Amino acid sequence: MNPHSTTHETASVKDYFGALFNGIKTTVVGMWITFRYVWGVKSVSIEYPEVREVLPERSRMRLFNDVQNCISCTQCAMACPVDCIYIASEKMPEGAEIKKTSNGQPIRLLLTQFTIDTALCCYCGLCTTVCPTECLTHSHDYEFSQYTIDGMKYDYLAPDVIAWRDRIVKV
């Protein structure tokens, strides 16, 4: 008879003590496994604010756009499945010097707005893969909680956001 059977009506004395012994044995085995963790296994958790994990290179955290390299092609805005990237651009004024991006593409349009609503962003990474000049990247910043939802909108043309560049962009 199956020692684990739950039909106790027909259980004989042998079955009863068999089940009892089985119960004690399996519990002790399980407790022993847990007990070994007291000194046998080293801990795997880290104490977060003091110790920080080094993120893998491909980690997708907050988006950062290096506006100096942006050519306003709007491909990222079109690829975005949640439409959280707002781009506006206008024609370069007459006679303005045409700058080049770091990989040699001429910047023919004047970027007037580049805003990402991080509250909507789903961190899928589709926008970074279509970017022709690789100016839009996922940085490794993951601590950016805000008090209001408007604070999650980042205008990448604002001077304080441009100042992140030195910290974020890995050249």
85 bridge partner residues: 116
Q: Which is nearer to another protein, 22 or 99 (CB)?
A: 22
Cβ of residue 62: shortest distance to another protein, in angstroms? 13
Cβ of residue 121: shortest distance to another protein, in angstroms? 10
Under 8 Å between Cβ of 37 and 31: no
Cβ of residue 100: shortest distance to another protein, in angstroms? 25
Question: Exposure of 154 by Cβ count < 10 A (0-12 exposed, 13-18 middle, 19+ buried)?
Answer: buried
Give contact residues for another protein (rule: CB under 8 A): 2, 4-6, 19, 22-23, 26-27, 29-30, 33-34, 37, 44, 55-60, 78-83, 86, 122-126, 129, 138
Q: Residues 54, 56, 57, 63: what is their CA dihedral angle, to the nearest 10 degrees?
A: -80
Distance CA 171, CA 164 (A): 14
Cβ of residue 85: shortest distance to another protein, in angstroms? 10
Q: Which is nearer to another protein, 6 or 145 (CB)?
A: 6
Q: Which is nearer to another protein, 86 or 163 (CB)?
A: 86
Under 8 Å between Cβ of 109 and 92: yes
Q: Which is nearer to another protein, 22 or 112 (CB)?
A: 22
Q: Which is nearer to another protein, 17 or 123 (CB)?
A: 123
Residue 107: CB atoms within 10 Å: 20
* Three-class secondary structure of residue 25 per DSSP: helix
Cβ of residue 69: shortest distance to another protein, in angstroms? 21
